[in-house]
């Protein structure tokens, strides 16, 4: 009620508010006011304040390093967050020019002008981006070369081999059929990646003198390692006996689009039957 109306109405009834009567009236009015406020608060509860949003910290950002190569190509190295990814990316960047030169020396200059490399910080990132397993240091897809976190543990010599091997796959990808014989694609990639070496000699030749199978390449551990060695030594032999261009022509005939089988490709490019080439390879291995 409005205070002016109360006082006006009371006085019109002839009541004289004097002495204790006026404080009592004031007290009654105050009690009514408090009660009214209480009722109002019960009928229209206050809207609670919205909770303060919790802002999660932003994840570490990935970085991209660009490397200008002497042949005019550009390396794009995507560095994902990780304890050692930045250092590994620096090492890869320092080897990239020589790796590109090694690939071009064998394959020729007609390959992609951009080189996309990803350095992953976790095994999960590597599996998603590269499709590699726990025992693989690097993998190549049609879009990129992907390094696993464990590649940071490699020596400089091993990293150099792996980078050149994967860069050959990257360069030859567009000319390589999906159903190409894997042992030959891996053997030629190792030929580009590994430094030259003399034949292993008769003691080792017996364990090496057979072409590997896809199953050998898919079996982790010593079986896979031996399969890569066998494929590499065969490629080394072909390049030594028929020249690097002979090995390149064999690769295109046996692994390129519309390829024939290995026996026909050997006959067409090397001018010999596969059985004859394998006999000569085993003799070469023995030194």
Given this model, what pLDDT does residue 134 score?
Answer: 79
Given this model, what pLDDT does residue 51 score?
Answer: 58
Residue by residue, DSSP assigns 100-146 as HHHHHHHH-S-S-SEEEEEE-SSHHHHHHHH---TT-SEEE-SS-EE
Q: Of 140, 143, 142, 136, give the one whose Cα is nearest residue 164.
A: 140
Given this model, what pLDDT does residue 60 score?
Answer: 59
Q: What Rg, from alpha-carbon coordinates, does the chain have?
A: 40
pLDDT (tens digit per residue) in 22-47 = 333 333 333 343 333 343 344 444 44
Given this model, what pLDDT does residue 53 score?
Answer: 55
Given this model, what pLDDT does residue 41 score?
Answer: 43
Q: Topology of 59-175 in CATH?
A: Zincin-like (3.30.2010)
CA distances from 239 to 183, 190, 202, 234, 243 (A): 16, 12, 20, 9, 4
Pairing of β 74-79 and β 63-68: antiparallel
Question: Which stretches of the chain drop beneath a pLDDT of 70?
Answer: 1-60
Residues of the chain with CATH 3.30.2010.30: 59-175
- Tokens for 241, please give them: 């006996």
Pairing of β 145-147 and β 138-140: antiparallel
Which residues, at least 6 apart from 115, have a Cβ–Cβ distance to it below 8 Å? 67, 69, 73, 74, 75, 76, 96, 100, 145, 167, 170
């Amino acid at each position: 009620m409005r205070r002016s109306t109360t006082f006006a109405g009371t006085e019109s009834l002839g009541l004289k508010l004097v002495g204790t009567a006026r404080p009592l009236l004031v007290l009654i009015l105050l009690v009514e006011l408090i009660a009214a406020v209480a009722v109002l608060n019960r009928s229209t509860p206050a809207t609670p304040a919205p909770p303060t949003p919790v802002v999660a910290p932003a994840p570490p950002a990935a970085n991209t390093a660009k490397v200008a190569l002497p042949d005019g190509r550009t390396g794009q190295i995507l560095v994902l967050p990780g304890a050692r990814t930045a250092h590994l990316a620096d090492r890869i960047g320092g080897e990239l020019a020589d790796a590109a030169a090694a690939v071009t020396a064998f394959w020729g200059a007609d390959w992609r002008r951009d080189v996309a490399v990803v350095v992953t910080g976790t095994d999960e990132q590597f599996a998603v981006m590269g499709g590699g397993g726990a025992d693989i240091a690097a993998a190549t897809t049609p879009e990129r070369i992907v390094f696993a976190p464990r590649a940071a543990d490699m020596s400089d010599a091993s990293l150099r081999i792996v980078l050149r091997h994967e860069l050959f796959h990257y360069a030859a990808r567009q000319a390589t059929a999906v159903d190409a014989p894997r042992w030959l694609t891996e053997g030629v990639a190792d030929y580009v990646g590994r430094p030259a070496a003399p034949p292993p000699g008769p003691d080792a030749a017996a364990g090496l003198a057979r072409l590997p199978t896809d199953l050998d390449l898919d079996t982790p551990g010593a079986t896979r390692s031996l399969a890569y060695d066998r494929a590499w030594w065969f490629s080394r032999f072909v390049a030594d006996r028929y020249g690097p261009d002979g090995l390149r022509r064999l690769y295109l005939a046996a692994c390129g689009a519309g390829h024939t089988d290995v026996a026909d490709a050997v006959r067409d490019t090397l001018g010999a039957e596969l059985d004859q080439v394998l006999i000569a390879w085993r003799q070469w291995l023995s030194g």
